Amino acid sequence: MYFKTNVSVELIAELLFVDQATISRAICELKEPIADVLHEFVPDPADEVDGRVGVVDGPLCPSWSWSDAPELYSGNHKTTGHNHQFACDLSGELLHVSYPSPGSTHDAKAFGESVLNTILNSSNSIGDKGYIDVDPITPFRKPQGGELLD
């Protein structure tokens, strides 16, 4: 239930009439064997992206507020979380999700540290203004004190 439907351990424990700690232990014991079995079915990111237009974004995935982990605080979003780099094709099919970076990490830096930096073709990938000066094609930035071109 936990891996397939993302139900909380507390709810699973209540449904099965056991302690939450019992469910947590079972999940910890199952994670590695499940990952080992499914590893052969995880596609290589370079093969997935090859020949396709990649659209990249790095949204903040919110987490609870940690007063002792200020690096997770994103001033842009005014909350704590993790920055993942997502890549999809033009039809919206997910191609890759990077490992998390702290929420305070800018998209351009997180992209540079991810595998997407090496596998995406810079002339065949699109990003928002957070990726200016890195590989993906981005919109034009308004010049300071100037106007955008038509």
Task: Enumerate residue ranges in the chain where pLDDT < 50.
Answer: none
Q: Please, which residues have CB within 8 angstroms of residue 2's CB and are 6 or more apart in sequence?
A: 9, 12, 23, 27
**119 in any annotated domain:** yes
pLDDT of residue 7: 84
pLDDT of residue 33: 93
Q: Are strands 54-57 and 60-62 parallel, antiparallel or unpaired?
A: unpaired
pLDDT of residue 77: 66
**145 in any annotated domain:** no
Tokens of 102: 């702290």
Domain that holds residue 21: 2-41
**139 in any annotated domain:** no
pLDDT of residue 53: 80
Same domain, 125 and 55: yes
Same domain, 76 and 8: no
Same domain, 36 and 49: no
**57 in any annotated domain:** yes
Among candidates 96, 94, 89, 92, which has minimal Cα distance to 54? 89
Task: Using the structure block, give the residue that is written with the tokens 């990952």.
Answer: 35
Among candidates 60, 86, 90, which has minimal Cα distance to 75? 60
pLDDT of residue 79: 78
